[in-house]
């Protein structure tokens, strides 16, 4: 398993997922400072020239949600997804796609001050997205109730960015939720790898 990666990018999501699963993987650096993400070779992996991207013995997957879904389905024993016959499969998919399809666009809109279009845009606006998350988290500790999943990994990691951008306050239900997620051993292991990679760049 090869993870195309660079520190301080969305590739951390896939790194965290791989550490949660415990599957062996190899990091393939894509130096975004040098523009390597625009190379023909990487464009073949991800035409959007973004990280993460994954190569599983010739199976190429890009886009964060797709990478996490692929890994959740490939390693069902890790319990980070929902199998096809699981009644929670629909909810799992809904929330896995919610982060890149609703939360991230709404965050970008908020950060840039765009007036948006709550009728035409699929995410509505930032307030609607925020309320949707609030409602979901009223039903349990995680999006699937009592079970942490890849959907939580993706949402919690993105909420951290919202905190850093001061779009949301890291407190209350949102703060508690993110704190639970980042307190997991898998996150700690992924963070250790990230910090090691950052340190190596400074040498």
> Residue 145: is it exposed, middle or buried by C-beta count within 10 angstroms (0-12/13-18/19+)?
exposed
pLDDT at position 2, please?
A: 97
**Which of 93, 109, 99, 95 shows the shortest CA–CA distance to 158?**
99
The residues, any chain, with a CB within 8 Å of residue 164's CB and separated by 6 or more, are none
> pLDDT digit of tens for each residue in the chain (203 aa)?
999 999 999 999 999 999 999 999 999 999 999 999 999 999 999 999 999 999 999 999 999 999 999 999 999 999 999 999 999 999 999 999 999 999 999 999 999 988 878 877 888 899 999 999 999 999 899 999 999 999 999 999 999 999 999 999 999 999 999 999 999 999 999 999 999 999 988 76
Listed in sequence order, the residues at least 6 apart from 113 whose beta carbon sits closer than 8 Å to its beta carbon are none
Helices (H), 84-184: 89-98, 104-112, 126-137, 150-164, 172-182
pLDDT recorded at residue 118: 80
Please classify residue 47 by burial: count the beta carbons closer than 10 Å to its beta carbon, then call 0-12 exposed, 13-18 middle and 19+ buried. Answer: exposed
**pLDDT of 97:** 96
Give Cβ neighbours of residue 162 (< 8 Å, ≥ 6 apart). 103, 107, 168
Reported residue count of the chain is 203
Q: Specify the pLDDT at position 203.
A: 67
Residue 143 burial (CB count, 10 A): 26
Question: pLDDT value at position 56?
Answer: 97
Q: pTM score > 0.85 for this model?
A: yes
Q: Which pLDDT score is estimated for 122?
A: 81
Sheet bearing 26-29, strands edge to edge? 26-29, 2-5, 53-56, 59-62
Q: Contact, 62 vs 54, CB < 8 A?
A: yes
Strand 2-5 to 26-29 pairing: parallel
**CATH match for 2-78 among 3.40.50.2300, 1.20.58.340, 3.30.750.200, 3.40.30.10:** 3.40.30.10
Q: Where are the domains of the chain?
A: 2-78, 89-185
Is 89-185 a domain of CATH 1.20.1050.10? yes
């Amino acid at each position: 398993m090869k993870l195309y990666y660079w520190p301080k990018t969305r590739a951390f999501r896939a790194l965290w997922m791989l550490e949660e699963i415990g599957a062996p993987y190899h990091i393939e650096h894509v130096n975004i400072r040098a523009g390597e993400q625009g190379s023909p070779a990487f464009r073949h992996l991800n035409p959007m020239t973004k990280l993460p991207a994954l190569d599983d013995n010739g199976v190429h997957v890009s886009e964060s949600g797709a990478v996490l879904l692929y890994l959740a389905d490939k390693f069902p024993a890790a319990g980070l997804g929902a199998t096809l016959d699981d009644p929670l499969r629909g909810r799992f998919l809904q929330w896995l796609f919610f982060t890149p399809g609703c939360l991230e666009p709404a965050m970008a809109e908020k950060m840039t001050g765009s007036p948006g279009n709550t009728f035409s845009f699929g995410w509505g606006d930032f307030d609607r997205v925020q309320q949707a998350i609030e409602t979901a988290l009223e039903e349990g500790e995680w999006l699937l109730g009592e079970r942490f999943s890849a959907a939580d990994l993706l949402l919690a990691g993105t909420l951290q960015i919202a905190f850093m951008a001061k779009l949301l306050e890291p407190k209350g239900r949102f703060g508690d939720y993110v704190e639970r997620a980042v307190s997991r051993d898998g996150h700690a292991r992924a963070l250790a790898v990230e910090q090691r990679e950052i340190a190596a760049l400074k040498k």
